[in-house]
Amino acid sequence: MGMKPKTTREHILSLYGHISGVKKNLSHVHQDVEKLGGKIDKFYWVLLTVAGTAVVFVLDKVFT
Instruction: Map residue 26 onto helix, strand or coil.
Output: coil
Question: How far is residue 6's CA from residue 13's CA, in Å, rounded to a whole number?
Answer: 11
Q: Residue 14 CB: number of other CB atoms within 10 A?
A: 13
* Residue 14 contacts residue 5 (beta carbons within 8 Å): yes
Q: Model confidence at 58, in pLDDT bands (50, 70, 90)?
A: very high
pLDDT greater than 90 at residue 14: no
Residue 52 has pLDDT above 90, yes or no: yes
Local structure of 8: helix, strand or coil:
helix
d(CA 9, CA 50): 52
User: How much of the chain exceeds pLDDT 70, in percent?
Assistant: 66
Please tell me whether the overall predicted TM-score, pTM, comes out greater than 0.75 for this model. Answer: no
